[in-house]
Structure 1
Amino acid sequence: MKNMLLKDAEERMKKSTEKISEEFSHMRTGRPSPAILEEIKVDYYGVPTPINQLATINVSEDRSLIIRPWEKNMLSHIEKAILASNLGLTPINDGNVVRLNFPIPTTEQREKWVKLSKEIAEKGKIAVRNIRRDVLKEAKEMEKNKEMTEDDLRRFEEELQKLTDKYVEEMDKLFEKKKKEIMEF
């Protein structure tokens, strides 16, 4: 039973880490990345559809994303969706492709992004600690119901703390990686 609790805790902590990693990938950093467009939906004949299902998205060397729709009539729809998305980027429609230019971010902007990244990482750490708290509560309930001895509970707490520390450290690593990426310019 103890192992099941640990396994459950680890799975939940891993999911939290993956969620934070995903949030970081959608964050704007000044560097063009197709991942920034994943959440944007375009009205495709009445159906909200992700841009990457309507077009190819390429990163060009001049700090821009090139969105080449498979149907030319989708250019204006893609342009409108990007404008409505609050990305802070202005799409340029040249009749064949939509271009998103990424200006070099100011130091102030980068510091703001780092602060936002830190907040996201902190949310992840809080989620991991909440998982620890919930699982520990279950274990204490088991000990109370005589399903686990006091010594087993103590060992379980130690193992759970090691697991928690591992995933909190993982969150810190993700944050440091994102911070480095943001401050790279």
Structure 2
Amino acid sequence: MKLNEVESSMKKAVEATQRSFNTIRTGRANASLLDRVLVDYYGSETPLKSLANISTPDASTIAIQPYDKTSMGAIEKAISLSDIGLTPSNDGVTIRLNIPPLTSDRRQELVKLAAKYAEEGKVSVRNVRRDAVDSTRKQEKSHEISEDEARDLQDKIQNLTNKYTSKIDDLLTQKEEDITTI
């Protein structure tokens, strides 16, 4: 396994963690809350963002304007069934989601959820490290690379692992700050 492949895989793990963080509510309206919502549109699961224009007119409201007015009911149903915990209100043209202020208990739950997502991201990075180190050891055993080269490569892999786990920690710290700030 090449070092640039290892780094690329670790970057992807960090990006996936960031996307997971974006789905956590922070008390402010954010269109990325709806990124994981899939709508049953004519028999196929379709991402909400491809069916409607999503905007945030103010800090506590998300407005959804479907491109196809007939899909409004399906969009409302998908939002209601999703895990975001918001109730849609429909005025015939726009679906609105009012973001209530977070209670301190709910903030703590969201901080725990963010920590869980961060740990999953770190596990992904460590799995990439494990696979890369295993590959390096196999190359060493089959005499494709020397023992010194193998150690050097393993040190570089560990440095990449440290770099990307600290990036995840930084993202977590930032997200916790967003969640706990009122």
Category of TM-score, reference length = shorter chain: over 0.9
**Is this contact kept in 1: 2:29–2:59, CA < 8 A?**
no
Deviations 1:35-61 (A, max 9, x none): 111222223333332222222111022
Matched, 1:164 2:161: yes
Deviations 1:52-88 (A, max 9, x none): 2222111022501011123333222221111111321
Shift of 1:25: 1.3
Matched, 1:151 2:145: no
Counterpart amino acid of 2:159?
K
Matched, 1:65 2:62: yes
Bigger mean CA deviation after superposition, 119-128 or 46-55: 46-55
Matched, 1:16 2:13: yes
**Is this contact kept in 1: 2:10–2:164, CA < 8 A?**
yes
Q: In the alignment, what sits opposite 1:87?
A: 84
Instruction: Flag the 1:71–1:133 CA change in 2: closer, same or farther, 3 A.
Output: closer
Q: Report the aligned-residue RMSD.
A: 1.5
Gaps of 5+ in 2: none
CA distance in 1, matches of 2:25, 2:59: 17
Q: In the alignment, what sits opposite 1:45?
A: 42
Q: In the alignment, what sits opposite 1:26?
A: 23
Q: In the alignment, what sits opposite 2:32?
A: 35
Counterpart amino acid of 2:14?
T
CA distance in 2, matches of 1:62, 1:134: 44
Shift of 1:130: 1.6
Find the residue that maps to 1:77 and give its secondary structure: helix
Counterpart amino acid of 1:25?
N
Counterpart amino acid of 2:35?
E
TM-score by length of 1: 0.91
Find the residue that maps to 1:59 and give its secondary structure: strand
Shift of 1:141: 1.4
Instruction: Flag the 1:79–1:13 CA change in 2: closer, same or farther, 3 A.
Output: same
Instruction: Flag the 1:155–1:119 CA change in 2: closer, same or farther, 3 A.
Output: same
Gaps of 5+ in 1: none
Q: In the alignment, what sits opposite 2:2?
A: 5
Counterpart amino acid of 1:106?
T
Find the residue that maps to 2:14 and give its secondary structure: helix
Query: Which of 115, 135, 138 pairs up with 2:135?
Result: 138
TM-score by length of 2: 0.93
